Each structure stands twice: as structure tokens, then as C-alpha cells.
């Protein structure tokens, strides 16, 4: 091998290792044309009923791929019931949405396009028409997938979007440099104490996992913390009685807001999943306020207070949520730790280019 090539490969591997420090190894799409097509579609408002909404409307690259609203605002200004999560590091997740109702990024991507409250498109055929009306897209989709113009399907759109999303990788936070890079200068004393509280007294790592060689800060599981559950409380006994008697939960009269609070139950129809939501990653958490599935908590300080008081009591509250009795200093330390989970700006804002 020519010496220059070896030097280049060594250089490339250290750069990559850095950007991904603290993240598990994963195959990132390499095909530049495919990724660029996904990025263009992601930012294109033509894929909405009135040409006003793109994926980036709610997952804005300059806002760490969120909209910084409590709940998302879609087409014709319609407000949804859920907080838009960041797309940074979605490549590592196994289930998508707060209730885990999609199992792959490809499956997920068509959801918002066809959702009447989001992009508001009528059908996959309608998506295909939008592509066909744009000669540049027709050309690029045919090339990328090596198919005839007439064979371009909505699934191809899902594939390019998913490929782009898989490049949104952001590791190498101060925490990663401290913990995995063993550079003790990277965390303040307060943040370092916060890490200990996160793992022990706070019991946070029980769900927001830190592994031996990497940390996704999620266990990909679902828990009831009680957040937002008060909206369901009045109706809960009747609801449970009806389900136990065999009524189809979809037929039970609930407002859209109440139904959204059922969480994982909406996917499994198992009573023990009532009010459960997916453990979100905490990477880049300082950039993605407000918090929780309904965006109801505004600051990290308030999140810590919420855990400290033991969540919101309800019959389905998880047993790992209990009063923590943290001192003011311990609370501040936990917040300082979470603020150290922000990736270096370049990798957080831009997809990894190879």
C-alpha cells in the first residue's frame, strides 16, 4: 500500500473515532448521492398538502433536529399531542416514536407524510406523484436505485430519508472525552459528581444506560413516570373496567389528548403498558428543551425536581421511580452532568461526511 494512503487511512480513522467517541460501532451509509437525496427530500416542503411543511419544520438541523416547541405544529397550524424528539443518533434506536409504534426508520418515515396533522398527504400514490412532477428527483431516484422512472415508489422516498437520518451521528461530548477518552480535565467537579449521582443515588442510569464501551443513555424500554398522566386519571377506572370486560380500547370514548397519554398501551393493548413511554437518549439534552413526550417540562432543573419528588403517583408508576431526597447541590450536579452530554457543535449540526 502506498505510504500516503496508509497515512490518510490512519488520519481518517482517528477523525471518525473522535466524532463517534462514546457511541457503539454502526454502519453509516456511504453513498453520497443517496444521502444528499435524502437530505434534500427532508428539507423539501413540496412533500406536504399545502407546500408549507417539511421534516425540517419540526426537526430543524439548527435546533438539534427539534422544533423547541412543547408539542409539534403541523400543517394549517394544527397542534399535535407530542413533543418532537431530536433525530441525532436515531440510527442507534430499535423502536421509534414515544410509544415505539414503528420498528425501523423506513417504516417511520412515511408516518408523518401521511399524518393529517403533520404533512397531510393523502396516500403513498400521492407521494409518488410529487416525485414524478420533479424531473430532478425522477432522475436522481432512478439513478440511486437503478430503476425505471415508473418504478419509483413511496418506499424509495422512505429509504433515502432513512439513509440521511442514519448519518446524523453525534458523540464525543465532554462526558465521552472524560469517561471513554479518560481525559479527567473534561468534566467540571460538579459534573463529575453529577455522573456519580446519575449512576447511584439518582438511579438514572437504570434506564438511561451507560455501558462499558459506549453510552446511548437509553435502554430502549418503556416506563410509566406519571408525566401527563393526570389527564387520564378521572377516566382511568372506567377505562380499565371496560378493557377487562373485553371492550376494544379503540372504541372507548377518549379525547385525542387522553388517548395520547396511554402511551405504549396504544401499541400493545396490554394494561401494564398504560402510560409508558420510551426512555429517550439524553445525548444533547441541553439543546432539546422542552422535555418529556408532551413537552410539559421546560428546563433540566425542573426535570430533576420531578424525579426528586418521585414522579407523579398513579397505579402504574414504575417501581424505579421514587423520592430521591437530593440536596440542592446534588440537583445542580445532576444538571451540570447532563449539560456535559452535548456533542461538539460540528458533529451535532452537520451529518458526518465521509
**Interacting residues with ligand HEC (CB under 6 A):** 53, 55, 57-59, 72, 74, 80, 82, 84-85, 87, 90, 93, 96-98, 105, 108-109, 112-113, 118-119, 161, 165, 202-204, 206-208, 223, 225, 227, 277, 279-280, 282, 285, 288, 291-293, 300, 303-304, 307, 318, 320-321, 334
- Beta carbon of residue 321, minimum distance to ligand HEC (angstroms, whole number): 5
| Residue (of 286, 252, 352, 264) closest to 26 by Cα position | 352
Please give the Cα distance from 172 to 164 (Å, whole number). 20
Name which of 89 and 347 has its Cβ closer to ligand HEC.
89
* Cβ–Cβ < 8 Å for 98, 82: yes
- Beta carbon of residue 171, minimum distance to ligand HEC (angstroms, whole number): 16
**Other beta carbons within 10 Å of 79:** 11
- CA distances to 48, 308, 352 from 42, rounded to whole Å, are 11, 39, 16
* Cβ–Cβ < 8 Å for 339, 188: no
Name which of 18 and 296 has its Cβ closer to ligand HEC.
296
- Beta carbon of residue 137, minimum distance to ligand HEC (angstroms, whole number): 15
Residue 275 grid cell: 402510560
Name which of 21 and 55 has its Cβ closer to ligand HEC.
55
Name which of 131 and 285 has its Cβ closer to ligand HEC.
285
* Cβ–Cβ < 8 Å for 227, 302: no
CA dihedral sign, ordered 289, 277, 89, 211: positive
Name which of 130 and 204 has its Cβ closer to ligand HEC.
204
* Cβ–Cβ < 8 Å for 41, 160: yes
Name which of 35 and 285 has its Cβ closer to ligand HEC.
285
Residue 56 grid cell: 425540517
- Beta carbon of residue 282, minimum distance to ligand HEC (angstroms, whole number): 6
Amino acid at each position: 500500500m502506498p505510504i500516503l494512503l496508509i497515512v490518510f487511512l490512519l488520519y481518517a480513522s482517528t477523525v471518525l473515532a473522535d466524532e463517534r467517541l462514546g457511541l457503539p460501532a454502526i454502519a453509516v451509509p456511504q453513498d453520497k448521492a443517496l444521502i444528499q437525496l435524502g437530505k434534500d427530500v427532508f428539507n423539501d416542503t413540496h412533500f406536504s398538502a399545502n407546500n408549507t411543511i417539511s421534516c425540517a419544520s419540526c426537526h430543524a438541523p439548527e435546533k438539534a433536529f427539534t422544533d423547541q416547541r412543547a408539542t409539534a405544529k403541523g400543517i394549517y397550524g394544527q397542534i399535535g399531542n407530542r413533543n418532537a424528539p431530536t433525530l441525532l443518533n436515531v440510527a442507534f434506536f430499535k423502536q421509534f416514536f414515544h410509544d415505539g409504534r414503528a420498528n425501523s426508520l423506513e417504516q417511520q418515515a412515511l408516518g408523518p407524510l401521511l399524518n393529517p396533522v403533520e404533512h397531510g398527504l393523502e396516500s403513498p400514490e400521492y407521494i409518488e406523484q410529487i416525485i414524478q412532477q420533479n424531473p430532478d428527483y425522477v432522475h436522481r431516484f432512478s439513478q440511486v436505485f437503478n430503476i425505471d422512472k415508473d418504478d419509483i415508489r413511496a418506499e424509495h422516498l422512505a429509504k433515502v430519508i432513512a439513509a440521511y437520518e442514519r448519518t446524523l451521528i453525534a458523540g464525543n461530548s465532554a462526558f465521552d472525552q472524560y469517561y471513554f477518552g479518560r481525559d479527567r480535565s473534561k468534566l467540571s467537579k460538579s459534573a463529575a459528581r453529577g455522573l456519580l449521582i446519575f449512576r447511584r443515588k439518582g438511579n438514572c442510569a437504570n434506564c438511561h444506560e451507560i455501558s462499558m464501551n459506549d453510552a446511548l443513555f437509553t435502554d430502549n424500554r418503556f416506563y410509566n413516570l406519571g408525566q401527563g398522566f393526570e389527564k387520564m386519571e378521572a377516566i382511568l377506572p372506567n377505562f380499565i373496567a371496560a378493557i377487562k370486560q373485553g371492550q376494544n380500547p379503540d372504541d372507548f370514548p377518549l379525547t385525542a389528548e387522553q388517548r395520547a397519554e396511554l402511551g405504549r398501551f396504544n401499541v400493545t393493548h396490554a394494561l401494564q403498558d398504560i402510560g409508558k413511554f420510551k426512555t429517550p437518549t439524553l445525548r444533547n439534552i441541553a439543546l432539546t428543551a422542552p422535555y418529556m413526550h408532551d413537552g410539559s417540562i421546560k428546563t433540566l432543573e425542573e426535570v430533576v425536581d420531578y424525579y426528586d419528588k418521585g414522579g407523579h403517583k398513579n397505579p402504574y408508576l414504575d417501581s424505579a421511580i421514587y423520592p430521591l431526597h437530593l440536596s440542592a447541590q446534588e440537583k445542580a450536579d445532576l444538571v451540570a452532568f447532563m449539560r456535559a452530554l452535548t456533542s461538539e457543535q460540528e458533529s451535532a449540526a452537520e451529518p458526518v461526511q465521509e
